[in-house]
Amino acid sequence: MWRKRIIGIGIILMVGLACLLARLVQVQLVETKHFTKHNINLTEASVKQRSEEIVLDNGRGGFLDKDGNFLTHQTQSVLILFPFLKSMDWNKSKVAEIIGVSEYQLQDAVKTAKAPIVFGGDDPISLTDLQREAINKMAIPGVFAVEKKDSLKNNLAEQLLGITGQNEELLAKRYPDKKLSFNTLIGLTGMEKSFDEFLLPDGEAKLVYHVDGIGKPLFGINVKYVEPANPFYPVNVKTTINKDLQETAEKLVDEQGIKKGGLVLLDLETNSVAAMVSRPAINKQSPYETEGINNFMLKQQIVGSVFKTVVAAAAIDYKLDDDKRMFNCSQKINGDPDPNYQHGMLNFTNSFAVSCNNTFATIAKELKNIDANILENYAEKLSLTQIVGWEGAIYHTKNFKQLQDEEKGRVFLTEEAKKDNNFVALTGIGQNEVRVTPLAVANMMATIARGGEKQNVRIASEIQYKNRSTLLKFKQEDLSGDTISPYTAARLQKLLREVIVNERGTGSWFQDLPYEVAGKSGTAETDVMIEGKQLHNKWFAGYFPYDKPRYALVTVNLGVFADEGGVNPLFADMVKSVYKYDLKSK
């Protein structure tokens, strides 16, 4: 009996020992770099227990402007101080002399430090090459002058570029076949999300210093600079953003008090985004708790009278634009007297210039009687109801989108609405269920300015390796689907210019700009009321210079009272700024 018990206990001990041995093999040999579902790197964890380190570069790729300057971060030479310096006698006076600070400042910086610090904190002193060389030549343990990459405090085009964060569940869902640490940063919005697979880190660059059990340096062991083995990574995305114009645009949007809205500026030569601003700004502490996380330039909005451009295009092709015909522009679309506008009898061209609702509601109904699908067809021809951001096949991705957050536009919600005169009349003036994005409106203006040539909008021109050689390029591509004819485009160009040159035109405000402008205004009623007052979306969309178009521009102020504006001064100031920039660039 005792013998059986001893044998049983022996078997249990052997099984237990085998399990422990298997676990040791798993921990020490098999899963050293990807332990548990969290993909914990045990080798790195063990090193961290006996070392002090500071990350100089998290390894994630970034975004460049059109000239190759970084938009999301900066790299500068800084002074790194390790915490064990407070218990050491080191040459503080010489280091202080080299960088031009007091000895007390250096001593005070490490007095309460529990981990390696950047001297100067959030506003570090940027060292010159000579200063960096002089400090490192002194070979003081725990004192290093190195290059460190940090995120910029005030990112340009923040909604467009997007944000990153740690999300273990999303990481596993997005990359089920990749073994990534659970704390890997991934793109959550904007281009950070669109280009996430390219921007993923291949490892950190960091400064590692080994210490003993009480945190003092192990002399004889030099500092280690650890970086990813692949010299081509991280890769960076070269955007089409013009940094100077982007900075100007953001300043002007804020000066005009745009609380919700912004602008889109397209470079027509490459049909690419030169500047894009969305407000409100992102709340860095709680990004998802406010509307600032949204890029409203890519979101559906009620467009109002800008949609009359679509009605005008259809009217031209269906011979409803005869200027001998007169419309009563002192009436509302239901035939009642208009208390706000008494323009009298106007022809088609003048109706477009003053944005007469009755004219375009009437024409919309006539188009409906010809074919209920005409308005939708022409909205698509002018790129308003399709994704306009660049998309195409790259590597293993058949339908890669540069702007994953972009929404499609729409004209009608139901088939019944297409056949209802009241709904069609409202649709003809950009109300009812018409929804489009500011980016799509900008591309409509670009299409008209180019004589009907419809293209995808690029926001990235290429992806570059770390050494700035090209990984892949995004070529200009035509947008799928039908477009308007050169004749229709030419007629629309004249109508859009008439909005400006006509003394009663809704764009006569822009007659004295340094560049001649063509465009269309829009004021759309929303369903939101505050204190009994209805809120509106205010728009101006156009292109310039008129004779040789180079830019398309849309400004929009969303959810404001009827007597609030901002879009006209913003449009005008941006045109002036582009003109000055072009003069300087010649």
Question: What CA–CA distances, in Å, run from 258 to 293, 385, 538?
Answer: 16, 26, 11
User: What pLDDT score was predicted for residue 332?
Assistant: 92
Question: What is the C-alpha separation between 497 and 483, in angstroms, rounded?
Answer: 21
What is the mean pLDDT of each successive set of 10 residues along the chain, which is 586 residues long? 66 69 58 52 49 82 94 89 85 92 89 87 89 92 88 87 91 87 89 94 80 56 66 90 98 97 97 97 87 96 98 98 96 91 96 98 98 98 97 86 96 96 97 98 98 97 93 94 97 98 95 98 93 93 98 97 91 98 92
User: What pLDDT score was predicted for residue 377?
Assistant: 98
Neighbours of 525 (CB within 10 A): 16
User: What pLDDT score was predicted for residue 26?
Assistant: 58
Q: Give the catalytic positions in this structure.
A: 305
Q: Is the dihedral of CA 330, 333, 336, 339 positive or negative?
A: negative
User: What pLDDT score was predicted for residue 220?
Assistant: 44
User: What pLDDT score was predicted for residue 85?
Assistant: 86
Cβ neighbours of residue 453 under 8 Å, at least 6 residues apart? 447, 478, 483
User: What pLDDT score was predicted for residue 216?
Assistant: 59
Contact 195, 187 (CB under 8 A): yes
User: What pLDDT score was predicted for residue 42?
Assistant: 47
Question: What is the C-alpha separation between 522 and 436, in angstroms, rounded?
Answer: 12
User: What pLDDT score was predicted for residue 75?
Assistant: 86
Q: For residue 110, give both structure tokens.
A: 């490490």
CA angle, corner 190, sides to 187 and 196, nearest 5?
35
Q: What is the pLDDT of residues 29-57, one digit of tens each?
A: 555 555 455 454 444 444 455 567 888 88
User: What pLDDT score was predicted for residue 373?
Assistant: 97
Residue at 261: amino acid letter: G
This prediction's pTM: 0.87
User: What pLDDT score was predicted for residue 221?
Assistant: 46
User: What pLDDT score was predicted for residue 218?
Assistant: 58
Is the domain covering 296-459+466-543 a CATH 3.40.710.10 domain? yes
DSSP secondary-structure letter at 408? P
Contact 331, 338 (CB under 8 A): yes
